[in-house]
Structures are given as C-alpha cells and as structure tokens.
Amino acid sequence: MNIELISESLISIGCDTLVIGHFEGETISGKAIEGLDNALAGQISALLRDQPNCVKYGKTTVIYTFNQIAAKSVILLGLGKKKEVTNDKLRALSAIALRMARQLRPMTVAAIIYDDSNKTLDTVAAAQAIVEGVILGSYQFSCYKSDKENFDPIQKVLMIQNDTPAETKLSREDLQKSLIIGQSVNFARDLVNHPANYMTPSRMVEEASHLAKQYSMELTVLELQDMEKLHMHALLAVAQGSEEPPKLLVLKHMGDVTSNEIIAFVGKGVTFDSGGISLKPSEGMQEMKDDMAGGAAVLGAMAAIAQLKPAVNIIGIIPCTENMPSGKALKPGDIITSMAKKTIEIINTDAEGRLILADGVTYARYLGATKIIDIATLTGACVVALGAIISGVLTNNDDWCQQVLEAADQTGEKMWKFPNHEDYYEQIKSTIADVKNSGGRPAGAITAGLFIAQFADNIPWVHIDIAGTVNSEKDKGYNSMGATGIGVRTLIRLAENLQKR
C-alpha cells in the first residue's frame, strides 16, 4: 500500500472512497467541506441534522455519490467532541476509517489529513499520528492464507492537505517518519503472529541479520558455546529442555560516538513457552508463541532507530530460547548460577522469562550499558492487575522511569508504575540460594520485576511487563486482532527524546 500527499479539490479527487471527519456538535465549516456538501445535494448537512449521533467518536456512515463527484463513495467519520481529541485518538480514528473503507473493496482511498478548525493539537504531530493510524490500521497477517490476492484490495491512500497552512503542512520527511514507525510496529506484529514452529530462536537470528544488513547495524550473535564461556547459566538452564539451540542477539546503533552513554533495550525472546516441567494448562497454550513479544518489540524499535538515526547510542539485546519439558529440562528445586554469579533457587520453571532476562541484563552491563530497559511478557499477575489495557512498569530509578513513561504517554501506549517497596524483596529471598525465581502469587508482577532488578545492580533500570497488552482479541482502534506490537513506539520515541536532552 502506497501513501501519497496531495492538495486537490474534494470534488475532483479520483478515488474509490473519500473519508471526511467531523466533530460532534459542530456545523459544517471550511470551503472544501461546504463545496463537497453542495456537490452531494446537501447529504452531509442532512445527516448532521437528522442523525447527529453519526459523528460520535468512531462512528462511520457511508454516502454513495452516484457520480455526483469523482469519488464513488464518501465515508463520514465521527471525530467525537473537539475538546476531547488527542493525537492517539486521531491515530485510532484513521485506523477505524481505513477498516471501514476496506469493506467497500476500494483500490484507492483519500482522506483529509488535518481539519484546520481544530486548534488544540500540534498540526504536524496530529498529521503524523493520522498517517501512523493508517499504517497500523491496514495491518493484516496473511502469511498463511492461501488467497492472498484478495485479502486487502487497498493499493493507495491519498492524504489531503487542502486547508492546512503552508507552515504546518506535513512534509514528505514527516510522512516518511510516520511510515517508518508504523511499518516497524507491523514488523514486530508479524514476528509475534508467526507460529512457534516457524519463529524459532534461529529464525530470530535470521530476522535480525536481515535488519542489520538492510540498515547497516552491527549484529553479534552468541551461540550456546559463547554463553557457556560467559557463564550464562540462567539462560542456558531454560534452554536445556529444548532441542532448539538458544541464541542471544545484539544489535547496535551508535548514533553519538562522542558520548559514553549507552542505552540497552533487553527483550525477552522465549519463542514458545510450555512452562517447562511446571507445565501450563493445555487451554490457551497455543498463544504462548507470543512469549517473544519483548524481543520482537526490540527488533522493531531497532529497525526504526536505524532508519531515523537519532544521535544516541542504543544496543538491542534479545536472549532467545524455547521453554520445553524433557528429560534434560530444568526442574523445580534446582539451583543454578547466573552470569552475575548469583545463585538462583528454581521454584517454578514457568517463571523462566526472568531467568533469561537476568543474564540479558547482566550482559547489557558487561557491554557498558549506562541505562537499561527490559520489556517482556513476564507475568499473568500483571494481566490480573491491569488487564489488557495498560502495561506494568517497575524501576530502581525514578528519573529514568519518568523518561520512559513520558515517551509512552507521547505515543499513546498506556503504562502504569508499580510500587518498589523493599518489603517485597522478602518474597524472593531463598533459604538455600541468593534468590528464588518466584515469590508466589501475591504481588507476582512486582516480585518478578524485582527479581530482574537484582541483576541491574545500581544501573538505572526500567522493567515493562506487556503480558496483558501484547495481543488484542479483536480489531480495536489501531490494533488489529492478534499481536499489537506494544512497546515499539515507546522505545522509538524514547530514543528520539534522549537525543534532545
């Protein structure tokens, strides 16, 4: 699907479907919309008068033009109340409009990218959000569908900027940035949506190799023997039950060689999680292919960062393995030693993500990271606490955490900070080792994060638990059913923000 910027009359734009937005309780304003309404014999104003609910947030109404204008149909999109509009809502609205347009089977869709009557938002940022929404809303995972040709008919989207002042028009550079961000999220979605028999640790290496070659990033891949030399026995303990060899990927974007600051993104890459000996229930186990979504988020973010080239040093670290039961598998009651030389008592082999992140975070420190973020589908407890709406956050450094939360807020990715009270550490103390890998059900999302904190040591560290937000059960806003690509946009925005400080 191609996206182009145009400045043409709404009446004469050659397209199959034209999308126009309108705020709730507002009258028609602007020469472009007035002219379109006149050409359609007042159908738009009649709708607003007789069916005022048609412009409530997210509502869509199709108007067939019968050759009165060049477009074959018009979709009237409800924008809701003007005072409640945000960039994230515009992002979602453009995705909703695109999905509605898809039902009409158009090849070309045109949409007004900016309503000049809205003075509450930064115009370029709003326009970029709209373009991102188009990309995110267009996402469909069709890799395993036989009938790919007719899966999505839309080939071109025309973004109209007629009433936009010249100084606030979306430039082609702005458009390109939105495309890069949207496509990077969709790339991460693809990685998560693939089944586990395809998206193995070795396949994750192939995907990283492709990115490194395409965008000129440095890639290092640690094999099993390398991990043994580095004493990564927490990661290796999880991997020992699988026939698939573990991998640890490191992608580097060194955007500021004059700085000693290195930011590490560490993503959990469990490509399938059976629970190991502490086997998960069979119902829903097929969804455990998404346990590498943290790693996918890091890969997606690094793909965008390599193209946007922020002046900041970022390393993406992804420990990859399966967690499987076998005669060689890790057992409850075992004691292992991590790369950081901390001994760990295994209470539950299904608490494996924190084990591989322990070595991943330690390796980030080994590579000189001065700040660390880990992102992982870590705990069911986070889903219980925050549902599928908000990702949980834990930190050992409030200033660093605030920067992450600001980036999340700017992108519309909802995150909430868990408390980090010293009393919670009591739950993960072991009587026979330095620490145990599960503190039980109470405050499970917090104690899981605090386990990882042991390996960040004094380095500023933020943990993001995306267990609840990794998937969407239906098409909603700019999320399509399946993987959401959560975390990608926050990490990209954080990298951009850091270069400005």
Eight-state DSSP code of residue 479: B
End-to-end CA distance of the chain: 36
Residue from 406, 244, 388, 207 nearest 324 by CA = 244
- Residue 80 scores a pLDDT above 90: yes
- Give the pLDDT score at 163: 63
Would you say how long the chain is, in residues? 501
Active site members:
280, 354
User: Residue 201: pLDDT band by 50, 70, 90 thresholds?
Assistant: very high
342 is written with which tokens? Answer: 């901390």
- Residue 438 scores a pLDDT above 90: yes
Q: How many CB atoms lie within 10 A of CB 216?
A: 9
Over residues 383-393, the mean pLDDT reads 97
CA-to-CA distance for 116 and 253, rounded, in angstroms? 38
Residue from 21, 46, 35, 40 nearest 160 by CA = 21
8 A C-beta contact, residue 428 and residue 354 = no
Of the given ranges (33-37, 101-105, 150-154, 274-278), which has the lowest mean pLDDT? 150-154
For the chain, the farthest-separated pair of C-alpha atoms sits apart, in whole angstroms, at 81
- Residue 114 scores a pLDDT above 70: no
User: Residue 211: pLDDT band by 50, 70, 90 thresholds?
Assistant: very high
CA-to-CA distance for 142 and 149, rounded, in angstroms? 10
* Bridge-based pairing state of the strands 371-376 and 263-267: parallel
User: Residue 167: pLDDT band by 50, 70, 90 thresholds?
Assistant: low
pLDDT digits over 227-264, tens only? Answer: 999 999 999 999 999 999 999 999 999 999 999 999 99
- Residue 118 scores a pLDDT above 80: no
8 A C-beta contact, residue 304 and residue 184 = yes
Where along the chain do its domains lie? 2-170, 196-498
208: left (phi over 0), alpha (psi -120 to 50) or beta: alpha
8 A C-beta contact, residue 307 and residue 203 = no
CATH class, range 196-498: alpha beta
411 is written with which tokens? Answer: 């992108």
8 A C-beta contact, residue 487 and residue 294 = yes
Q: Is 202 exposed, middle or buried (0-12, 13-18, 19+ CB in 10 A)?
A: middle
CA-to-CA distance for 459 and 340, rounded, in angstroms? 14
pLDDT digits over 124-153, tens only? Answer: 888 999 999 999 999 999 899 887 666 678
- Residue 216 scores a pLDDT above 90: yes
Over residues 450-474, the mean pLDDT reads 97
8 A C-beta contact, residue 296 and residue 470 = no
Q: What is the reported pTM?
A: 0.95
Please tell me which of 68-72, 122-126, 139-143, 159-163 the model is most confident about, judged by mean pLDDT. Answer: 68-72
- Give the pLDDT score at 32: 83
403 is written with which tokens? Answer: 């920067």
Q: How many CB atoms lie within 10 A of CB 319?
A: 32
Of the given ranges (23-32, 193-202, 364-373, 374-383), which has the lowest mean pLDDT? 23-32
Counting Cα atoms < 13 Å in the Cβ hemisphere of 35 gives 12
CA-to-CA distance for 283 and 286, rounded, in angstroms? 8
Q: Is the dihedral of CA 189, 190, 193, 199 positive or negative?
A: negative
In percent, how much of the chain has pLDDT > 70? 96
451 CB contacts (<8 Å, ≥6 apart)? 354, 358, 428, 435, 437, 439
User: Residue 1: pLDDT band by 50, 70, 90 thresholds?
Assistant: confident
- Give the pLDDT score at 121: 78
Over residues 33-62, the mean pLDDT reads 95
CA-to-CA distance for 134 and 1, rounded, in angstroms? 10
Q: Is the dihedral of CA 202, 204, 210, 214 positive or negative?
A: negative
- Give the pLDDT score at 148: 67
Instruction: Quickly tell me which residue has 């440095």 as its tokens.
Output: 218
Please provide the average confidence, as pLDDT, over all residues in the chain.
Answer: 94
- Give the pLDDT score at 30: 74
The CATH superfamily label for domain 2-170 reads Leucine Aminopeptidase, subunit E, domain 1 (3.40.220.10)
